[in-house]
């Protein structure tokens, strides 16, 4: 882990150890960076975290790092600045699937997706709302693809019990391709988004179980949710995400030692 990798570098220099121990810096650094060790442990468990929970942890980390930038300790603040640069490189640009996972979590939906972007980008960034619309449009496009597949399955699996059924089958296939699906897509998505949020304090909430119950109300969204939430996320290793080549903490503490 990045935490232990950095601390090992610190421990190689007895003068630095005396300095950070005297000032309580070592314990403060270990306490602060423990968060990343805990988050990495969550991501690497056998029961892998899903995309909706991953973004929550990412935002928690960003919020903490930003808090460190104004903690009053110049060494921690400088470390925070370097970590934010590395963090934004990997995590600021949230891609469509992770954003869709937030929308399809009935505790979050678009309301929380906007809040997460404001944590990552800053509340005053106009790009937050634009990014939310981008992900919503991506979900609409995805719903149209799933809706078409569903329509094709229904056509193939049912033959009208009428005379001239082959003729009706041909015409119904043409009608299905001509009729716009966007109205159905929007109505299902809009109904879902307008429904009340599930309380975030709900205990033992199982998102896949919720979607099983909701399948009759949101059949297309349920299919997408099933595909998204049954696939574990993959993340960059914590060493590459938060590391600054292992020498940053040593260099700033050594600089402090020289100045003293």
- Please check whether residue 222 is in contact with residue 38, taking contact to mean a CB–CB distance below 8 angstroms: no
Question: Average per-residue pLDDT in the chain?
Answer: 72
More confident residue, 212 or 86: 212
Count H helices and E strands in the chain, helices first: 14, 0
List phi, psi (to 5°) of 2: -60, -40
pLDDT class of 35 with cuts at 50, 70, 90: confident
pLDDT of 133:
92
CB atoms within 10 A of CB 126: 8
Highest mean pLDDT among 31-45, 50-64, 140-154, 234-248 belongs to: 50-64
Predicted pLDDT of residue 255: 46
Q: What pLDDT, on a 0 to 100 scale, did the predictor assign at position 209?
A: 93
For 124-140, the pLDDT digits (tens) are: 667 888 889 999 999 99
> Which pTM value belongs to this model?
0.63
Query: What is the rounded distance in angstroms from the CA atom of residue 205 to the CA atom of residue 202?
Result: 6
pLDDT at 178: 67
Q: Over 70: is that where the pLDDT of 202 sits?
A: yes
Residue with the bigger pLDDT between 194 and 27: it is 194
Residue 253 clears pLDDT 90, i.e. is over it = no
Quick check: 16 and 250 in contact, CB under 8 A? yes
19 vs 211, residue with greater confidence: 211
């Amino acid at each position: 882990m990045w935490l232990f990798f950095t601390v090992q570098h610190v421990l190689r220099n007895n003068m630095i150890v005396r300095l950070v121990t005297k000032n309580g810096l070592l314990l403060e650094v270990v306490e602060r960076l423990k968060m990343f060790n805990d988050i990495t442990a969550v991501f690497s468990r056998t029961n892998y975290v899903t995309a909706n929970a991953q973004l929550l942890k990412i935002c928690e980390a960003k919020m903490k790092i930003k808090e460190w930038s104004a903690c009053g300790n110049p060494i921690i603040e400088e470390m925070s600045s370097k970590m934010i640069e590395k963090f934004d490189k990997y995590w600021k640009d949230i891609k469509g699937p992770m954003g869709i996972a937030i929308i399809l979590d009935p505790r979050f939906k678009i309301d929380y997706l906007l809040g997460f972007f404001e944590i990552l980008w800053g509340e005053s960034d106009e790009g937050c709302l634009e990014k939310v619309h981008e992900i919503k449009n991506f979900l609409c496009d995805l719903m149209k693809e799933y809706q078409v597949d569903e329509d094709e399955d229904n056509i193939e699996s049912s033959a009208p019990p009428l005379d001239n059924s082959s003729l009706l089958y041909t015409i119904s296939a043409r009608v299905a391709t001509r009729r716009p699906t966007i109205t159905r897509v929007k109505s299902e998505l809009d109904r879902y988004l307008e429904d009340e949020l599930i309380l975030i304090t709900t205990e033992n909430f199982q998102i896949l179980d919720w979607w099983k119950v909701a399948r009759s109300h949101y059949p297309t969204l349920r299919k997408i949710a099933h595909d998204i939430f049954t696939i574990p996320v993959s993340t960059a290793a914590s060493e590459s995400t938060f590391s600054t080549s292992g020498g940053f903490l040593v260099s700033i503490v050594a600089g402090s030692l020289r100045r003293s």
